[in-house]
Each structure stands twice: as C-alpha cells, then as structure tokens.
Structure 1
Amino acid sequence: MATKLRARPAHAPGPTYLSYTPNGRKLVTVGLNGALRVFQHDSDDEPAVIDVPTDNHFAVAATNDFILVGAEDGSVTKYSLLTNSMEEMLVRSSLPVRDIAISPDGQWAAVASDELEVKVVNTQDMSRVMYLREHPRPAKHVSFDISGAMIAVSCTDGLVYVYSLSSEQPQLVKRIDGLIKLLDNEAEASSKAVWHPDGRAFAAPSSTRDFQVVARNDWKLQKAFQGGHRGDISAAAWSPNGALLVTAGVDKSLVLWETRSQKMLKSFNDVHNVILAMQWHPTDNVLSYTNNNGELFIRENFAPNEHAKLLKIALQHAPTNADPLNDISGNARRPMPNGVKPNGHVRSGDDYIEGLLDDAMSQDGADFIEDDDGAGYAEEPNRNGKRVARSIEGPQAKRQTPGPVWQPQIHEPFQPGSTPWKGNRRYLCFNLTGFVWTVNQETHNTVTVEFYDRQEHRDFHFTDPYMYDKACLNEKGTLFACFGSSHHPAILYYRPHETWTSRTDWRTELPKGEEVSSISLSDSCIVATTTAGYVRIYSLFGVPLKMYRLKSSPAVTCASWRDYVMTVGNGPVGGDGMTRLLYTIENVKRDEICQSEDTLALPDGVELKSVFFSEKGDPCIYDSDGVLLILQHWRTPGQAKWVPLLDTKTLDRLAGGKKEESCWPVAVANNKFHCIILKGGEEYPYFPRPLLSDFEFRIPISSAPNGDEDEINSEVTLRKSLEEEYVQSSLQHSLIQDLVENTSATQTQKLEATGLEREVDKVLLQLLAVECREGEERGMKALEIATLMKDRTGKMLEAAGKVAQRFHREILSEKITHLAERRMVGLVDDDEV
C-alpha cells in the first residue's frame, strides 16, 4: 500500500511543534498564532481549537489528560484535553521557553528556557519545583529516560548534561563532550538526546551530521546512523518498539533507518520545508511531523510494506557495541512492563531501568559513572535499594551493565466502578443504587454518598481522615477501604443505611504491611482481596467468616452477589508475555466451589475493565474492546462459558467510528446494559455527574445491515434479526433455568423460565415461516428449526406444521407431524434432526 501523505491546516507560517498523547488518540500542535489545535487520530473531522491568551509557542508536551505549552513570554500553561480549556499557569520563566518534557508517569515536567537553569515542576502541585543548574549556558532541549529518574539536557555550549532525580536533590551524573555541536537556542538544527525505548541508551545529532548512540552503562559513544543527511539533523524519532528510526535534516531530507543494522531503508524526497518536530504514532504505522512553515503532515503507512513488519515485533535493544544482534522474529523477547518500583521521590510507578542496575546482565565491569566532570557525585543503592547521592572518593565507582530482563506482564489490581483522581475529585463507586465520590482537602478527604432513590435513602457525607480510596454501595450499606499509612494500617469500614440499634457501623484493621487491593459488597457478605494474596470474607456486621490464600496471585479484583463471591487473579503467562487472568466462583454459605481457577475469556492485548454480577445474579465482565460478556452454566463445575451480550462498537451511535465515544460500564439489569457514554476520548466519567444510558442486548451473530433501504426491508435482514433474537432468548432461558435448577427458586422465577421457553419457540416459529417463504429448497433447514423447539406438549410443533401447510410445503408438514408424534412418545432427543 502506498504511503499516504496528509497535509492538515495548522498554524501561521513559522516554527510549529507537535505531541501525541500516550494513548495515540489525539495529536496536539502549537505555532506562532494564539491557538492550539487538537486533532483526533484516524479522523478527517476538523480539529478542536483551543484559543489561548499567548502566542509564539515553541514547545508542547501531552499526556492523555492534559497538555503543557511553552511560549515566548516564558509561560508554561496547562490545558485540559477533557474540556479543551485552560487549567492553570504551571510555571513561568523570564525568557522564552524552548522545550518541555513530561515524565512517563505524567507527574513531572522539565522546562528548558533561555534562562541558565532547567526547572522540573510537579504537574499536580506547581509549588514543588527542582532546579538543574550545573550547565553554564541555556538549555536547548530536555528529555526524560524511560524510568523518569534521569534527564538529559542538551546545552547550547555543545555538551549533554545527564542529571539524576532519584535523590532528594537533582545530581549531575555525567557531562558528555564531543557529541552534539554548539547551537543557538533559535537554530533549526537539533541537539536533542532521544532515549531509545528500551532505556539503555540515547542518541543525539552529532557535529558530523550523524545520529550518534550513547550507552547508558558507561556514557560512551556507540554505533551511529551515518550518511543520511547533507545538513544538520533537525528532528529524530524512534519507533515505539525501537526497531526503526526516522531522522530529518535542515537540508529538507527525511530518512528511515533500521535500528539493528543502522541501515538506511528509504530516503523521502517529498519534503519541502525543514521538519522541526516529529513523532511516531504509539501503535499504528503513522508518522506525523511539523515544519518551519506552520504545516502539519500525517503520513499513513509510513514504513513501506517490506519493512512495516518491524513495527509489530517486540521491544528491540538499543544499537550498542556490546549487544548481539537483536531477534526480529516473532520469538523476540517481550518488553518488560513491570519493573522494580523506584524509591526516589520523583516517581511512584514501575521503574524499568533503575531497579536493574544491581541485577545487571553483563560481567564486563564497564565504568558506570566517571568522575571526570569534577562534580563529585554518583549514585549508589543503599541497603534498602534506594539511590542516595554520595561523593566519589578513591577509585571510580563501578557498575555492571544494565540489560533488559524479561518479566511477565501482570494485570494490576483495580476496583470496579472507581475512577482515578482528576484534579481533587474522584468517584469511588458508581452503580444503579447511587454513587460515592470524594474530594481531596490535603489534610483529609470529604466523602459524599448519593442515591438515585432519595425516597428510600437519604444522601450523606462525612469528613474522612483515613482517606478511603475504595468503596462499594448497595441497598443495605456502604463499604470503604483505605491504604495503610504511618498513622494506621489498612482499614475496612462498613456503614449500614438503616439500623434498629444505636450503632452498627464497624471498622477492622488489617495486619501491618497488608493492603487492600479490591473489595466487594453483597446482601450477605463483605469481601476483600489483599496484597498478601489473601481473600478475607466478613459478615455484614464484621464477623470474619473465611480467610484463604488465592491460588492465582496477585489478585486483580473481586465481585459478589448474595452468597456468591467471584475473585480474579493473575495466572500462568501466555505467549504474549502477559499473565492469563483466572477466576474462581464460590458459594460462601454452602462452602461450595462453582468454578475453580478457570480462565477469563480475553483475547490477546485486551484488558479487563470491570467485573460485576447482573441484577439476576450472573457474573459479567466488560473488556477494553467494548464487549460485554455474561457467564453461562457457571453453577456447574467445568461447564462455564463466556457469552457476548453486546459489542458496543456495533451500537448505531458508535458504528463506523464516526464518533469518538466509548462506554463506561455500570450494571446489567432489566435485560439492558447500563453505562455512561464517554466522549472525546475520555476514559473515565468526571464531574458534574454524567447521565446513565442503557442499551438493549445485541449478540453479535452477524454484521449489521449496511443501511440500504432495500436491504433493511429484505428477508435477509429479517432472518438475521430473528436468528440473533433466538440466540439471545435461548441464552436468557439457559440462565434462568440454571437458577431454577440449582437454587431455591421462587414461583416468579419458575414462571419466568416457562415464559422464556415459550419465547424461544415463538422466535423459532417466526424463523420457520421465513424459511418456508423462501421456497421448497429451504425445507431441510426449516425441519432443523422445528427440532430446536423446546415445547413438550406438541402445541408448538403442531403450529409449525400449520405454518408449513400455509405455504404449501406438504413434505415439510408431514415430517414435522412425524417429529411431533415421535417426540410425544419419547423417541426423539432434543438435539436430533
């Protein structure tokens, strides 16, 4: 497929810059005019325009939720991508801002300006600022490594300064000379250090117009990408897996390279201006870049077909001299998504590199840090694994060379119905009973519980000194949980809505060091999974009923309904390097296991988004592909299967990708899927509280009609509709029949099962009529449909025979009559044709 070049209107003629959001859904551009443009990926719609009070913007960096924009007046402003509006002025310099980099966890932003210092400011708290001051001249570029614990500063004095943020005060780790050339801040040429995705090296434009790699283990020059440009390099970008590299030059050149061999794969001759910024899309074969003429280009299918396969392989090694040739086959080692957590104050998430230094792969004893800069600082881990700055005395500090170590990618625990912090607010629980939300007041939180039925329950709120981060809500009460702190261990707190005694709410503390990973609440019990691998089950009044250790660990989440408890944990590792999720369902009251360590049905690359029980008590899951599934035959050990109830991508309002909308699951009740519609690429609901939407189930039996009027009114469409209705009614009958056969069902439930059986036969009768209208050649299928009828009295088969007679299908009528006679005397099995 030929490369498709897409030019988009961007900004006034002049320097223009861009940034993708990490999820790849949005692309933000800035330029000389007083507006920001937000483009939706893979959409031809006009971009959203954010009018701003500044102009002459020279830098932009994006997270999924917000963007930071640097301007000539020295301001760095934070704009929300959820509302496309300004949030705050994050930091200000007295001179123009030249570059901005955001740490991988989105918590810190490094700002380079024409001042002599680089400011590193917390994106959530502007009062928390660190300063990098070891470079003597202004910085032109800044870039975080993959862990967020190191920053490479490209200075206008022709040196790269590497700072560590792992200790309380930023420390200079290395001055690298002889790499980049001396440049003015306003020069179109680049000197930016671009970290390779595996974190073991970075590369930067050299004074010889090459793209030179520098290894992290010894900060020495390694392999180089040579001969691609006649002028200085102006921009460069690694592909997301590090297998490809693209560079651009001030000579209006654009070159694609293979990382492993440093071979030039293709040189593009359709660039007419100097490219100043470019970036690969995080998942697609798309390269976007902006130039010095206010233009944005989106090149789809950028890597040619013969090289596009390189984008689909696993994370590749950085091209250093000591590395063997990387495996570019399907057997390549997967990237390590879960590393050792850093103990520095900058990040609290997973750290890919820092934790590997003590478990390095090579034994060559290469110098990790050289004290040739006179700074006298280096990092060494203390006995607790923390990195503390100390002076280097005597021999140079030695470190083993870090290398990627494969580790399985586990599914992190989550609480169904909760959202992350957005500003100072978040939802702790969201269901059909009501919702729980909390506000961070710095020293404490305030929790509010609101109900949809205010005649049945009254809203309440309270001051929360424990800072609860999880909650469950039902008709009987509200359950909370919080992490441990220096003042208290992890706590479970239950508050009933009604009581006939003076006080029935209760708290229980978990053993020190054990944290709550997820909680659930039913009409009869309380469940908590913990970081110690335990499942703790309590009665509604705090009596500990059961405690056991999960076989599949660490735990991911849990759900409960009446006496049934469902737990989900990490199981064995699949071929894609991710653990398979395993679920267990048990009846706590009877101490019976319904399903034990069965695999959760999720395709490769699809994540679990929510787990809950339906209104009738059947387990349901919702995945990142937007598919809602329900568990059939789950009360019979070994017979459970996950059946799709609805693929939200096929909804009329979402079909075809015309709108960037998604569904946030809430509940399954009244034979409908209740959810919140999220617009504009949002991942979670926010305040003010959005309205609930509900959709009928639509099992994806076949493709939807294409919209043609003749097709919609045709027999084909009618048949498809009836076939989907048959599968759905059969599923609903199966679910209620399982309930009747395995529990002390009420008379209403038994009548519902009988009614659903009749509904199944009615749909089959309609489907048989459609086949009879098609002609005699459909007779065998019509007879097969008749055998599917569940009625034992013979009335439905009698009706089927009359339908065949009405359409003059005499042979079919005779066979249906014969089938009815044999069934009446018990000679025909249900599944016999």
Structure 2
Amino acid sequence: MATRLRGRPAHAPGPTFFAYTPNGRKLITVGLNGALRIFQHGSDDEPAVIDVVTDGHLAVAATNDFFVVGAEDGSVTRYSLLTNSMEQILVRCSLPVRDIALSRDGEWAAVASDELEVKVVSTRDMTQVMYLREQSRPVKHVSFDISGTMLAVSCTDGIVYMYSLSSAQPQLIKRVDGLVKALETDAEASAKIAWHPDGRAFAAPTATRDFQVVARSDWQRQKAFSGGHRADISAAAWSPNGALLVTAGIDKSLCLWETRSQRLLKTFEDVQHTILVIDWHPTDNVLSYTNNNGELFIREDFVPMDHTRHLKTALQPAPMNSDPLSELSGNAQKQIPNDVKSNGLRRNTEDDYLNDLLGPDAMSEDGAGFIEDDDGAGYAEERNRFGKRSAGTISGRPTKRHEVQSLWQPQTHDAFQPGSTPWKGNRRYMCLNLTGFVWTVNQETHHTVTVEFYDRQEHRDFHFTDPYKYDKACLNEKGALFSCPPSSGSQRRALLYYRPHETWTARTDWRTQLPAGEEVLSMSLSESCVVATTTAGYVRIYSLFGVPLKVYRQKSTPAVTCASWRDYVMTVGNGPVGGDGITRLLYTIENVKRDETYQSEDIVALPDGVDLRSVFFTEKGDPCIYGTDGVLLILLHWRASGQARWVPLLDTKTLDRLVSGKKEESYWPVAVANDRFHCIILKGGEEYPYFPRPLLSDFEFRIPVSASPSATGDEEDKDVTHQKSLEEQFLLSTLQHSLQQDLVDNTNATSTQKAEIPVMEREVDKVLLQLLASECREGEERGMKALELATLMRDRTGKMLEAAGKIAARFQRDILGDKIMQLAERRMVGLLDEDEM
C-alpha cells in the first residue's frame, strides 16, 4: 500500500496561499488565521511566526527583503523579512483583496480586489498609486511580465486586460477575449496568466481545461497543453528555465509537462485536496504548493530522475507554432568549458581533425548543421568576455569552418552609450540622468519615443513617432539629441538629430547625415556642443545649431564612449594590449572652445577584470567613472598635463546596507551632484534598470580608508569607528578643496567660487582639530601624531593653531601645547618673510 503524502499544517483549514522569495531561501504562507509563517528552505525547524490582528489572508507576494499580504478586510500590508515585523500598510481597498503581484524589482505591487479598479502602488512610497479602470467587473488575478513593463489583469468577465506601465499613466494595449473562463473572485478555478520565463509568450487555463500559450507579439494562440485534467485548472507554474510546466486541477490532479513537445510526463495521484498555489524553487528540484485545507507541501526531488535533465538546461523558449524543434533542444545554449574558450589552439586542432576525417564539405557553410554541439565542446558557439559572439559567425557558428583561424586576438571593450540600457522585451531606456529620461518602444515598423522630465514646471514632456528607429539619446536642460544607425533596407545613412527644448525664435531642430558606412558609437550633449564618436574612428563635434566645429581621428580606437560638460569633451577608446590580452582603456580631455588638450591618451584606472560602466561629469565639471566593481572615481588635477589621478569617492560594496550580507543589490550610476552619488538600486542580481521607471536614490561620499570595525557595541569599537569616520572626512574635505582650487586656478572663476576656497580650508582644519582632540584623549604617548595633525592645518591666520593649543591644554598635554605654539610662531614668521619678499 502506498504511503500517503503528508503536508505541513500551516494554517486553519481553508484557502492557503504562499510565495517564495526570489533567492529561494524563504517561503511565506498565509491563510485564514491571524498568523503569517516564514519557512526556511531546506530546514525542518518550525517556521518563524508573525502574529497579526487581521485574519482571512488571501494573497501574498515576496522579495528577498520583504513580503506583501492582502487580507479579506481590504488591507495590503508590507512586512520585513529582516526583522519579521510589520512595516506599513501600503493601500486599503473597500472590498476583499484577491491577488497581489510584485514587479521583478519589488518596486511596485499590483492589487486585485472585489472592487472594479486595480491599484498599482509603490512599495517604497505608498502615496504613488496608479489606477487601472478599464475593466467593468471585479478582477480575480494580476500578473507582471518578466520585464515589469506589462501587467496582465484577469477579470471575472472572462477577458484578460493587458496594461502597459511604462509611462506615468498606464495604458490599456489589448483585451484578450475568449482565453480564460468567466469566474467568480472566490472560485477555486484559476484564470491567472503565467508568463513564460523567456518573455515572448504567456499562458492561461481555458474553459476547455487546457493550458493555452499565447504569443506576446501578435496575441495569437500557439501550442496548448491538453488532456491532463478532467476539471478546471486551479494552479500552474513554469519551471525557472521554462523547460517544464506543472498544472493542478480542482479534480485533485497534478500534472508534469514537457514544454517543447507539450507531452505529459507524469500524473501524480497522491493529491488529497485542491491545490490553490503552486511554484518551483528557483534553483533546486523542489516543488511547493498550498491547498484549500490549510496545508503546505514541499516536495523534494519532484521531477523524476528520468527527466531531471530538463531542469539542467539553459533558458528554453516558449512553445510557439513557428519554432522548429531543433531550436528547442537542450543543446541550444550550452555552457562552454573554460579551456575551450581560452585556448584557440585546441579549437583549431579539433576543426582540422574533423576536416581530415569528414572532408571539407562536411564542415562548410552548407554542411554546418551536420555537427551538433551535443557534448558542449564549443563547436556551436563561443563568446568572449563581453558576451559577444566571435567574429565571423552566424548564429554562433563559424561561416567557414575549414579556414584556418588565428590563434589569438586581443579582447577590446565594447562601445556603449552612458545612461542607456539593452532591450527588455520591446522597451529600453536610451538615457537616464538627473534632467529626466528617454525611453523607446519597438513597434516593429517604427519606434515611439517618450521624453519625460523630473522638473515638469520647467519643461514639458513630449512623445513622438520615430520612423528612423533612434538607438541613442542624450538629454539636458538645453535640448535632446538622438542618433540612428544606417538603414539596411534603404539608402538612408546614420543620422544625428538635435531638438532644443525652447528658443526665442522658431524652434531650430536640425539633422545631419554621416558619410556612407559610418555609424555613431557613442555621443554626448553639453550646454555648448554635440559630440559623436564613430565607427570610422572620427570624433565629430558640432555646435548646438548644427555647425561642424571639429572633425579629427581618435588616437585610441575602437572608440568606447564619450562625455562632455560645457566646452570640455572627454573621449575613451581602446589602447594598447596588456599581458592578459585585453586592451587598456585610454582617455583624452580637451577644451573645444580654447582648442586645448589637458590629458592626452592617459590610462583609465580600472583593475583587472573590471569593465567601464559609465562616464560623466559632475555638476562642477570634474570627470567621473564608474566600473562594474561598484567603485566611483573622480579625476583630480586633470587640468594639469601629466598630473591627473583617479581618486575613489565611494565603494558601493562597503555601504552599511550591504555589510550585513542580507541585501543582494547593485547600483546603476546616474550622476554626481550636490556632493552625492545619484543612482538606481538594482535588486536580485539585475544588471540594468527596467520598467516601470525605478526611483532614484543617492548616497553620500565615503572614501575607502580601511575595513570597517566589527559592530559589537563595545566602547573601543565605537572609538575606532569614530576615528575612521574622521579620517574619511579629512580625505574627502581635502579632495573637495583640491578640486575647487584647480577650478579657481585654471578658469575664470566667479567671486562665489573663489570665496569657497577659505571655507573649505576651514572645514579641513575643523576635521584635523577633531582628530587632534581624539589623539590627546588617548594619552601623552600619542603626542607626536597630534603634532603632525597640527602641521597639516592650512589656516594662515593662526586661529586654528591657537585652537589646537587650547585643546592640548584642556587635556593637560603641556609639551604638545608648547610645540604647537612654536609651530604657530614659525608659520607667522614665514608669512612675514613672504610679505617682505
């Protein structure tokens, strides 16, 4: 007799719901009683319990740091996973909440209730709420797509409403009718949209008990999973890589399907109650589900051994009618062993051996399909460190496999446009900065471009149809700059387009075409000029009215990126090859108006294995770079040839919010302004911002001086922390003073800028006084260091040294006080001598 599968009693008998955290470490369950339970993955210990005053919890969604719960009383509450406590009520509905969905970055929560409208609320700022009101009946389910730019709303009228959330005002883009069944909001049957992990398609339960796949591009029905259930489907989930599907029915059935062939692999007969929520663990062969009896089931080794190979493959495409089976194989994106990727000699030897064995025709372009990359040896695809396919390949295969390949090629840094992101679905950002942001939508035949500003009192947002399909953009207070590549289907060449925001005459938009075969690699826009680096190796500089000011060949090629501020232009390109076979990045800074070069082909200071993420100027005009190691650097003494050096302003990996190790996040650089680093927080391993538009965050500068002491609460640790903080302040204030001094010495500085110099000097001396007091507090044996601190003071009036002497006297450091007074006397004599000279 088969052993009955036993679940974990999580809540009182009744509908029970759960959610995994994205990293899979925790699982949160909610039910009819007033307890929220947090299970640790892989642990048999009792779950953590959060007791709340509400009951009748009907929905839950989670990030790695917090989770959101919807209740029958209409409340939607956020709870912390770090403290296991309630944080805030995000929104209230007048009727029961039925479903909650979180965008992938955790910034937005979509709430479905028995009300007619759907609320999309910011999880950071509860005052930011978007309302979806196109549906005429209550909504049963909501579901974000992979990119977070689209929300699927399953209404009780049997229609799925597709909303775009890319702009401030949500837009209904499609009503999908006849896909799901009309259901009541409390029905056990499901109408929830399940987006396939590859983002190209979604699927939903139908009235005929099938699980139907629909293409996102044209809303046409594709493959279907049929014949597995005798009653309505109650829950479904794709495996993390999209290779498998699991569905459950109100007939207490549980089915495992293969995505590629829609074949039913196994039906599980041990389900005792109707499953309401089902989901895969993000990394392990574990399936969890909750039912209508208050139980949680965590099934380890859920996929039978005969089919576990499906879980080990890379991301698989959604089952579409137009996709051949060969493209859906598990070998489509196999990982290449390191020795094959790094050893070109081995690859040529294998090719030559196959040529000798099979003949050259078998390895030609016509016979390329003869050899399948089923052993992962690297025949099908080889990628370099930047993710690009090797030169001379089509779809990852060499165009002529019988030709002898070079044994070694240098690896260059790819060109990029600061502030832009890759495509996510059919959307991408072309520009993100403190002025605003520019994003585009691919409509196949054309693009639509939207420009939005943070200060809407100063500038008005605008939107236009883009037949040129612009791929790069810049935005500032003066105007917007766009560029597009040459068209392959026509004679149109690469184009630059500048659009000013406002003029005192008729608006003077202008366009200019580049010569044939030339394309823009990167571009920048300042208050006085337009700069573009091109594939021909040229740097092209125009005035804001389209007058060509300069054209010259860049020394370090291929070009990587550029930035500009007023009349200053900074270009970055690939330079000489290092011993590791990777090119070193070089930068040049010049003043276009004065025709002066300040730094020529100097090295961009990046450690091994770190790539350049962004280049920009501060609001005061100092160049900054940000690398993939999360370090922000500023260029000091860059106006003096040969004196420039890169100084770290902030190492984001040492931020207090990351020291505990509980947060998994990185930062997308936006700007340096007002002595702060402005960025976008990326959570869950994301590399780029995506839609809906995330909020800007900012951090104060912290020059990395030393490792942070352990936070034990001891007085000794507090003293060390205070000491290190003062040392960081000293370095930072010294750096800011140097930058301001360079500005005053090398430009026509204003009286305000000149007046800031003595103010900054006093700030440096104040920090030194605090450090001196700290040393005096430690005892007489620290007197030599205290005297050294006094010698670093910059004040020429003697007031700061006098204050230092008073500090020494307060702590009864008489010898130190005498030496400080002697130092003050010598400094005053030196000043008198300078005046006489």
TM bucket, shorter chain: 0.5 to 0.7
Q: Is the 8 A contact 1:797 1:817 kept in 2?
A: yes
Map of 2:271 onto structure 1: none
Task: Output aligned runs, 1:236-385, within 5 Å.
Answer: 339-342=390-393, 344=394, 347=395, 351=396, 354-355=398-399, 357=401, 359-360=403-404
Q: Is the 8 A contact 2:678 2:697 kept in 1?
A: yes
State how far apart, in whole Å, the 1-side matches of 2:426 and 2:363 are: 26
Map of 2:430 onto structure 1: 428
Q: What amino acid is the match of 2:505?
A: T
Q: Is the 8 A contact 1:426 1:438 kept in 2?
A: yes
The alignment's TM-score, normalised by the length of structure 1, stands at: 0.60
For residue 657 of structure 1, report the CA deviation from its aligned partner: 2.7
**Is residue 564 from structure 1 mapped to residue 568 from structure 2 by the alignment?**
yes
Q: What amino acid is the match of 2:554?
A: L
Map of 2:223 onto structure 1: 92
Q: What amino acid is the match of 2:196?
A: Y
Aligned residues: 557
State how far apart, in whole Å, the 1-side matches of 2:329 and 2:453 are: 54
The worse-fitting range, judged by mean Cα deviation, of 768-777 and 644-653 is 644-653
Map of 1:635 onto structure 2: 639
Where 2:770 maps in the other structure, the secondary structure is: helix
State how far apart, in whole Å, the 2-side matches of 1:641 and 1:175 are: 52
User: CA 1:687–1:200 in 2, change beyond 3 Å: closer, same or farther?
Assistant: closer
Where 1:654 maps in the other structure, the secondary structure is: helix
Map of 1:491 onto structure 2: 495
State how far apart, in whole Å, the 2-side matches of 1:611 and 1:412 are: 14
User: CA 1:89–1:83 in 2, change beyond 3 Å: closer, same or farther?
Assistant: closer
Q: Cα deviation per residue 1:327-381 (whole Å; 9 max; x = unaligned)?
A: xxxxxxx999762143x4xx4xxx5x505635426xxxxxxxxxxxxxxxxxxxx
User: CA 1:452–1:94 in 2, change beyond 3 Å: closer, same or farther?
Assistant: closer
Task: Output aligned runs, 1:432-451, within 5 Å.
Answer: 432-451=434-453
User: CA 1:94–1:704 in 2, change beyond 3 Å: closer, same or farther?
Assistant: closer
Task: Output aligned runs, 1:671-690, within 5 Å.
Answer: 671-690=675-694
For residue 79 of structure 1, report the CA deviation from its aligned partner: 3.2
State how far apart, in whole Å, the 1-side matches of 2:400 and 2:26 are: 38
State how far apart, in whole Å, the 1-side matches of 2:364 and 2:617 are: 44
Map of 1:458 onto structure 2: 460
Q: What amino acid is the match of 1:195?
A: G
Q: Is the 8 A contact 2:26 2:41 kept in 1?
A: no
State how far apart, in whole Å, the 1-side matches of 2:422 and 2:740 are: 36
**Is residue 79 from structure 1 mapped to residue 196 from structure 2 by the alignment?**
yes
Map of 1:214 onto structure 2: none
State how far apart, in whole Å, the 2-side matches of 1:511 and 1:712 are: 68
Where 1:709 maps in the other structure, the secondary structure is: coil
User: CA 1:417–1:82 in 2, change beyond 3 Å: closer, same or farther?
Assistant: farther
For residue 65 of structure 1, report the CA deviation from its aligned partner: 7.7
State how far apart, in whole Å, the 2-side matches of 1:711 and 1:572 are: 52
User: CA 1:463–1:409 in 2, change beyond 3 Å: closer, same or farther?
Assistant: same
Q: Is the 8 A contact 1:468 1:480 kept in 2?
A: yes
Q: Cα deviation per residue 1:254-280 (whole Å; 9 max; x = unaligned)?
A: xxxxxxxxxxxxxxxxxxxxxxxxxxx
Q: What amino acid is the match of 2:795?
A: D
Q: Is the 8 A contact 2:599 2:642 kept in 1?
A: yes
Q: Cα deviation per residue 1:200-253 (whole Å; 9 max; x = unaligned)?
A: 89xxxxxxxxxxxxxxxxxxxxxxxxxxxxxxxxxxxxxx99xxxxxxxxxxxx
**Is residue 174 from structure 1 mapped to residue 176 from structure 2 by the alignment?**
no
User: CA 1:38–1:457 in 2, change beyond 3 Å: closer, same or farther?
Assistant: closer
Task: Output aligned runs, 1:127-206, within 5 Å.
Answer: 128-130=322-324, 132=326, 142-144=331-333, 173-174=369-370, 193-197=374-378, 199=379
**Is residue 549 from structure 1 mapped to residue 553 from structure 2 by the alignment?**
yes
Task: Structure 1 unaligned segments of length 5 or more: list them.
Answer: 1-11, 14-33, 52-63, 67-75, 104-108, 134-138, 148-162, 177-191, 202-239, 242-314, 316-333, 362-403
Q: Cα deviation per residue 1:617-658 (whole Å; 9 max; x = unaligned)?
A: 110111111111111111111111111111111112222431
User: CA 1:419–1:654 in 2, change beyond 3 Å: closer, same or farther?
Assistant: same
For residue 819 of structure 1, report the CA deviation from its aligned partner: 1.2
State how far apart, in whole Å, the 2-side matches of 1:810 and 1:582 are: 54
C-alpha RMSD of matched pairs (Å) = 4.5
For residue 826 of structure 1, report the CA deviation from its aligned partner: 2.1
User: CA 1:514–1:658 in 2, change beyond 3 Å: closer, same or farther?
Assistant: same
Q: Is the 8 A contact 2:733 2:760 kept in 1?
A: yes
Map of 1:56 onto structure 2: none
Task: Structure 2 unaligned segments of length 5 or more: list them.
Answer: 7-17, 28-38, 43-60, 64-98, 100-145, 149-192, 205-212, 216-221, 229-237, 244-257, 265-313, 337-360
Task: Output aligned runs, 1:33-52, within 5 Å.
Answer: 39=23, 46=41
Where 1:520 maps in the other structure, the secondary structure is: strand
For residue 823 of structure 1, report the CA deviation from its aligned partner: 1.5
State how far apart, in whole Å, the 2-side matches of 1:360 and 1:111 are: 37
State how far apart, in whole Å, the 2-side matches of 1:663 and 1:586 are: 29
Q: Cα deviation per residue 1:760-779 (whole Å; 9 max; x = unaligned)?
A: 01100111111011111101
Q: What amino acid is the match of 2:673?
A: A
For residue 791 of structure 1, report the CA deviation from its aligned partner: 1.1
User: CA 1:672–1:140 in 2, change beyond 3 Å: closer, same or farther?
Assistant: closer
For residue 512 of structure 1, report the CA deviation from its aligned partner: 1.2
State how far apart, in whole Å, the 1-side matches of 2:638 and 2:605 are: 14
**Is residue 419 from structure 1 mapped to residue 421 from structure 2 by the alignment?**
yes
Task: Output aligned runs, 1:385-534, within 5 Å.
Answer: 405-485=407-487, 486-487=489-490, 488-534=492-538
Q: Is the 8 A contact 1:529 1:536 kept in 2?
A: yes
Q: Is the 8 A contact 1:145 1:195 kept in 2?
A: yes
Map of 2:803 onto structure 1: 799
Map of 1:23 onto structure 2: none
Q: Is the 8 A contact 1:65 1:80 kept in 2?
A: no
Q: Is the 8 A contact 2:197 2:240 kept in 1?
A: no
Where 1:194 maps in the other structure, the secondary structure is: coil
For residue 746 of structure 1, report the CA deviation from its aligned partner: 0.7
| Match of residue 612, structure 1, among 612, 616, 639 | 616
User: CA 1:683–1:42 in 2, change beyond 3 Å: closer, same or farther?
Assistant: farther
Where 1:657 maps in the other structure, the secondary structure is: coil
